[in-house]
Amino acid sequence: MHGRQHTPRYASRPTTLTMYARAPLGARSPRRARPRARRAGSGLARALLRAVGVMAVLVLLGGGAYALVRSLHQSPEYEVRHVEVEGVSLLTPDEVIKSAGLEEGKPILSYDISKARRDLVSDPMIRDATITRRLPNTIVVRVVERAPLAQLDLNGTRFLVDRAGFLLTQAGAQETLPLIEGVYVKTEEPKSGMQIHDEKLDAGLLVVRLCGESPVLTEIGIRSVNVRNLGNVRLYPKPGPRVADNAVVYLGEGDFGQRLARLTEALEHAPGKRLVQADLSQGRLPPFRFQ
In whole angstroms, what is the distance from residue 197 CA to residue 211 CA?
22
Question: What's the number of domains the chain is made of?
Answer: 2
- 176 and 250 fall within a common domain: yes
Domain CATH number, residue 128:
3.10.20.310
- 90 and 212 fall within a common domain: no
Residue 85 belongs to what domain range?
A: 77-145
Element (H, E) at 167: strand 167-170
Burial class of residue 201 (count of CB atoms within 10 Å of its CB; 0-12, 13-18, 19+): buried
178's torsion region: left (phi>0), alpha (psi -120 to 50) or beta?
Answer: beta
- pTM for the model: 0.69
Whether residue 69 lies inside any domain: the answer is no
pLDDT digit string (tens) for the chain, length 291 residues:
445 555 555 444 554 444 444 555 555 555 555 555 555 566 777 777 777 677 766 666 655 555 555 555 567 888 999 999 999 988 999 999 999 999 888 899 888 999 999 999 998 889 999 999 999 999 999 999 999 999 999 988 999 999 999 999 999 989 999 999 999 998 778 888 899 999 999 999 999 999 999 999 999 999 999 999 999 999 999 999 999 999 999 999 989 999 999 999 999 999 999 999 999 987 667 799 999
Nearest to 194 by CA among 165, 172, 170: 165
Domain limit, last residue, from 112, 145, 178 = 145
- 104 and 188 fall within a common domain: no
> How confident is the model at residue 41, as a pLDDT?
60
Q: Where are the alpha helices (DSSP H) in 8-158?
A: 30-74, 93-100, 113-121
